[in-house]
Amino acid sequence: MQFLSIIVIFLLFLLGTVKIHFCNTTVQIAVLLPTDPQLPFAMQKVKPAIDLAVLEIQKRGLLLNRKSFDVRYGDTNSSYIVGPLLAIDFYANRQAHVFLGPVDGPGLAAVSRYSPHWRIPVISPGGGFNYHFDNKREYQLLTRMLHSSKTIVHFISRVILPHFNWTSVRIIAERNVVEAQSECYMLMGALCRTLRNPNSKGESKDTCSHSIFDVDRKNETKEKLRKTLNDAKTEARILFICMDSLLFRDFLLMAYDLDMINGEYVFVYLDIFRLMRKDMNLIGWYKNDSSEAENSKARRAFETVLILAVKKPDTERYRHFSYQVNTLQGGINNESSSMEKLVNPYVATFYDAVLLYAYGLNRTLEAHENASDGFAVVHKMWNVSFEGSNGIVQISETGDRVSDYSLFDLNTKNGQFEEVGTYFGVNSSFILSKDIYWIDEVKKTPVDVPPCGFDGSKCFVHKNPALPWIYFTASVTSVIIVLIIAAFWYFKRVSFEAQLRAMNWIIEPDDLFTMEDIGINKYKQIKRGDRHKRASMHHIALFEEDNDTENGAPVKTARFKGSIVALKLVQNKSRIDVNRLLLMEIKTIKDMQSEYLLRFIGACIDPACLVNEYCSKGNLQDLLENPQIKLDDMFKYSIIHDIVKGILYIHNSDLQSHGNLKSTNCLVGSRFVVKISDYGVPSLRCPLHQKHPPNSEQYYKSLLWSPPEVIRDLHAPVLGTQKGDVYSFSIILHEIIYRRGLFAINETSVAPKEIFLSIKSGNEIRPPFLGENTLFEIGNLMKRCWQEIPTDRPDFTSVFNTIKKLSKKYDNENLVDNLLQRMEQYTNNLEELVKERTNDYLVEKKKAEELLYRLLPQSVTTELMAGKQVTAESFECVTIYFSDIVGFTKISAESTPLQIVSLLNDLYTCFDSIIEAFDIYKVETIGDAYMVVSGLPTRNGDLHAREISRMALTILDAVIHFRIRHRPDEQLKIRIGLHSGPCVAGVVGLKMPRYCLFGDTVNVASRMESNGQALRIHVSPFTKNLLDKFQTFLFEARGEVNLKGKGDMLTYWLLGERDGLQVPFSNDSDLNDNKHTVEK
């Protein structure tokens, strides 16, 4: 069925440029109706009326230029697909100057949308209660001939409610679960919106609450009805109801059981299906298969009911018209019976439609305008009156027939509903022909709000003499409670103001360390007190304005308090002006703590820069557009779940909405948790249309996540709306499901500017559905989320419940387990493949394993390959070695990059060959820094200190004899630092895992190296104490050295080992200290 719909739309588009002209004097009328005899507008019932209209036109002499009518019929087969296809066929064969029908909503919508492109008018009695057809910008050539939601809403809001002095009402409507928007739902929605809209003075006189319930299984529907009544009982006395007639009877019986049939409540039933029933009868209280007692209760309940329905035609002229139609149809031979049987108004509307088109066509010809132009003809058809089947027919200026409505009340004597009032749409007059019977003969009209209020709180009766004491006690208690609340409020207020004034979120630029290369952890500190550097902060790499992740540039990072943070410059601001509004905004986002939100750390005042949590995996758009990353359904659901949880948290917070949700603002952390960024702080956020240069591709592309209402008004609030976030989420959903990029631009070859301008002009352009995907269940959710009208979109609570329901089958799976399982499966497949190949594959496998053992300890690698979880391990005592090259910055500046690479490769190859002879594990090399450890992952007692010391002496000896290839005359110098202590080691990450060390011992070892001297081995007292146990090592006390975070510490130089290597004594003044003593 969906495929056929696509074909229809495609054909309609192809035929949009064909023109139809009056090539002769024949006017061709195309009638699109079903032949189902059960329908009141069946083709065989309508045909006599159309023939009669043609005869009437000839009788009245309405044909100018001797034009004649050629009426052609097409059977729609009650299908919304067949109807538009028939219209295409009529149009393609130039057999239609006007379409009569279709009547069904979807078919009528399809034909009416494309009729402006064909310039062919559409006249139909359908679409009456669907408020979408009120949009004449979309349905420009549609004329509705029976009724419209506008007229009945006007009748209720401007006539019924003022007449009975009702201002507060409750609207209850049925919505079928199969059809998301039933006629009752559409009509009552239009009514409620009208009642809530303010008047010209900005005041809203009427109040409207509503209940919409879905009809499914009988028992569940009854429970919903009961809940609806219980809710309405305490909020309203006047209930406007639209639902199935049998369901309405059950509704009133429940109201009877809830003691609501007492004269205080009025149930106004909108009988919109009256014309669809045989003989156009009203609903009734009697049911054949019910007991006498139940029917008696129903009759009693129906005494509180008023019925609003389309007025049934009953004029003498209409009876004569019915007689003529019945005679032409040949169904009734008796003249008296033919006069008594009235044809359905649906039939009469087609008679009036032909007359209306003839009048419009003649007026067009009289004005010497193009009769083939549907716009010209329709312009002459609207805002006119003429004599029709039931008297004067008036067409409004918007192309809708002005209808009449009746008000019915139950006659308690005969149990039948009688007409007590009539609304004439032509002059907007309401005539009450009879007194309305209010239950139990109450003469006064029931009020919409009880005198004492719904809870009786407005009335007060003083009967108990002890009440003064009770009131006195209550008053004193209330005063005490008020004082306590005031004191608590004052305390909270003072605490709140103190938190605002603290401004502990401000970060000095001096506290940030630039990271020239995150991969080698080489940092460049901004020295405190350096005024020159502070004055030129805009010109250093830390604050260069190239951190636009939407353009693909890497995010700027820095190290703050030992952690990597992300920097985001504030656009259009060189300095942050701190005021109370900003302090409130900053406090709001600092208080927001969720694992699905990017954590705000602080901000720099000058230059204006926000400091946030760093996500190592980049943004979601980069992840989705990377073909090397495979995402299965569970992974996609996990990403969607993270986004929904993050936005739901924002919607439930003081922020209320995000306003700039897009895949580039969804960042992926190291554990593949998606975090929402760029939220809050509206005073620092740049408007959407100012983030990129105007008319650039990035400018238009960045706005495609924005909802249509924002694109059409770029000066909308920065924080946007919740419904706008829902639309943006649907665009991200499309990116996740298909992984084809934003709007699949790269595959559809449509420029972002074209999409932007099309949406801005009012077109409903959405991302295409490309091929098959395994997450087709989310497709329906996606369509609901990107609805054109914001109120038609679901809220994020509903979205979360839907996602939770769809991802239920993955609840028992774990992401890490899934990744390890896939890794194990890959290994097993590889081993099977190796068995089938030659010995060369076995050699390659062995090489790969050896390489893996070089990257990670063998014990860790074995556990990972076995699919086991590797847990961190604590070691009581290890010895850590750090070294770096003295003057490396100068050497780098005076050498080419290739020479630097050759230097480091020669040096580290030398180091690696040395450590092979010792019980040592190489941790990592970062630039010119070299780090090794002994005592892990295999414990060796206290031997780790000896192993590291002997290795350090060997390396120092090798460095002394090392020669730089491109600078052979220069002595290479290194600093070495050793420290022993406890630490924790474990594997970090799943992709490219690393065996890392954590603990204070690592920091102290690094500081021992940084505070050392060239060609010297700097040893901490802890390492010295361990080495003293061997009684073979020689030391020289250096004296107390101030170590950051440790204070003053007595440290030593390792000079060598008795009967082993020793450090050659240097004559350089910077390497000697005559005050040092030698210890053995």
Q: Which residues pair with 305 in a beta bridge?
A: 267
Residue closest to 419 by CA, chosen among 515, 306, 549: 306
Q: Is the pLDDT of residue 395 over 50?
A: yes
* Beta carbons within 8 Å of 477's beta carbon, 6+ residues apart: none
pLDDT in tens, 659-686: 889 999 999 887 778 999 999 888 888 7
pLDDT in tens, 890-907: 888 888 989 899 999 989
CB–CB of 527/533 below 8 Å? yes
Structure-model confidence comparison of residues 563 and 774, the more confident one = 563
CB–CB of 557/567 below 8 Å? yes
Peptide bond into 794 cis (omega under 30): no
Q: Is the dihedral of CA 334, 337, 343, 344 positive or negative?
A: negative
Amino acid (1-letter code) at residue 218: K
pLDDT confidence of residue 953: 92
Q: Is the pLDDT of residue 628 over 90?
A: no
pLDDT in tens, 568-609: 888 777 788 888 888 888 888 888 888 899 999 888 988 888
Q: How far apart are CA 114 and CA 971, in angstroms?
A: 85
Amino acid (1-letter code) at residue 900: I
Q: How far apart are CA 744 and CA 767, in angstroms?
A: 7
Tell which phi-psi region holds residue 693, choosing left (phi > 0), alpha (psi between -120 and 50) or beta. beta
In percent, the amount of the chain with pLDDT more than 90 equals 27
Q: How far apart are CA 1035 and CA 319, in angstroms?
A: 124
CB–CB of 1005/1046 below 8 Å? no
pLDDT confidence of residue 199: 54
Amino acid (1-letter code) at residue 493: R
Residue closest to 385 by CA, chosen among 406, 365, 356: 356
Q: Is the pLDDT of residue 530 over 50?
A: no
pLDDT band at 553 (very low <50, low <70, confident <90, very high): low
pLDDT confidence of residue 995: 80
Out of 342-346, 477-481, 838-842, pick the least confident. Answer: 838-842
Task: Kindly state the helix (H) or strand (E) to which residue 525 belongs, with its residue range.
Answer: strand 522-525
pLDDT band at 31 (very low <50, low <70, confident <90, very high): very high
pLDDT in tens, 246-287: 888 988 999 999 889 988 899 999 987 777 777 677 788 888
pLDDT band at 1077 (very low <50, low <70, confident <90, very high): very low
- Give the strand pairing for 26-33 and 68-75: parallel
pLDDT band at 841 (very low <50, low <70, confident <90, very high): low
pLDDT band at 831 (very low <50, low <70, confident <90, very high): low
Structure-model confidence comparison of residues 522 and 471, the more confident one = 471
DSSP string, 15-82: GGG------SSEEEEEEEE---TTSTT-HHHHHHHHHHHHHHHHHHT--GGG-EEEEEEEE-TT-TTH
Q: How many CB atoms lie within 10 A of CB 725?
A: 27
Using only C-alpha atoms, the chain has a radius of gyration, in whole angstroms, of: 42
pLDDT band at 1022 (very low <50, low <70, confident <90, very high): very high
Amino acid (1-letter code) at residue 556: K
> What's the whole-number mean pLDDT along residues 777-783?
84
Beta-sheet strands, E only, within 843-938:
873-885, 921-926, 929-934
CB–CB of 590/505 below 8 Å? yes
pLDDT in tens, 165-197: 998 888 888 876 555 457 788 888 888 888 877
Q: Indicate the burial class of 341 (C-beta count within 10 angstroms; 0-12, 13-18, 19 or more).
A: middle
Helices marked H in 697-814:
697-702, 708-711, 722-738, 745-748, 752-760, 777-785, 796-806
> What's the whole-number mean pLDDT along residues 54-62?
84
pLDDT confidence of residue 825: 38
Structure-model confidence comparison of residues 1009 and 514, the more confident one = 1009
Out of 124-128, 403-407, 448-452, pick the least confident. Answer: 448-452
Structure-model confidence comparison of residues 427 and 1012, the more confident one = 1012
Q: Is the pLDDT of residue 535 over 50?
A: no
* CA dist 75 → 43, 103, 105, 779 (Å): 8, 12, 16, 33
Q: How far apart are CA 373 and CA 357, in angstroms?
A: 13
pLDDT band at 375 (very low <50, low <70, confident <90, very high): very high
What is the DSSP code (8-state) at residue 688? G
Amino acid (1-letter code) at residue 120: I
Q: How far apart are CA 923 and CA 717, in angstroms?
A: 52
Q: How far apart are CA 938 and CA 327, in angstroms?
A: 107
CB–CB of 520/884 below 8 Å? no
Q: How far apart are CA 44 and CA 615, in angstroms?
A: 70
Q: Is the pLDDT of residue 352 over 80?
A: yes
- Give the strand pairing for 238-242 and 168-176: parallel
Residue 214: phi and psi, rounded to 5, are: -85, 140
CB–CB of 11/88 below 8 Å? yes
pLDDT confidence of residue 371: 86
Q: Please report, to the nearest 10 degrees, the dihedral formed by the alpha carbons of residues 489, 491, 493, 499 taken in order.
A: -150
In percent, the amount of the chain with pLDDT more than 70 equals 82
> What's the whole-number mean pLDDT along residues 695-724?
85
Q: How many CB atoms lie within 10 A of CB 1049?
A: 18
Residue closest to 148 by CA, chosen among 95, 202, 108: 108
Q: How far apart are CA 906 and CA 929, in angstroms?
A: 14
What is the DSSP code (8-state) at residue 187? H
CB–CB of 517/925 below 8 Å? no
DSSP string, 570-586: PTT-SS----HHHHHHH
Residue 175: phi and psi, rounded to 5, are: -130, 120
pLDDT in tens, 283-335: 888 888 888 999 999 999 999 999 999 888 888 999 999 999 998 887 544 44
* Beta carbons within 8 Å of 161's beta carbon, 6+ residues apart: 167, 169, 206
Residue 205: phi and psi, rounded to 5, are: -75, -40
pLDDT in tens, 478-499: 899 999 988 888 888 877 777 7
pLDDT in tens, 1058-1074: 877 777 654 443 444 43
Q: Is the pLDDT of residue 467 over 80?
A: no
pLDDT confidence of residue 42: 92
Q: How far apart are CA 533 and CA 669, in angstroms?
A: 33
> What's the whole-number mean pLDDT along residues 126-132?
83
Mean pLDDT of the chain: 81
* Beta carbons within 8 Å of 235's beta carbon, 6+ residues apart: 170, 209, 454
pTM here is 0.45
pLDDT in tens, 101-119: 899 888 999 999 989 999 9
Please give the angle made by the CA atoms of 757, 758 and 764, to the nearest 5 degrees: 140
Please give the angle made by the CA atoms of 1033, 1036 and 1041, to the nearest 5 degrees: 125
CB–CB of 716/640 below 8 Å? no
At 472, is the secondary structure helix, strand, or coil? helix
Only one residue has tokens 């004067």, namely: 392
pLDDT confidence of residue 15: 46
Out of 228-237, 251-260, 1021-1030, pick the least confident. Answer: 228-237
Q: Is the pLDDT of residue 49 over 50?
A: yes
> What's the whole-number mean pLDDT along residues 768-776?
68
> What's the whole-number mean pLDDT along residues 1050-1065?
82
pLDDT confidence of residue 336: 47
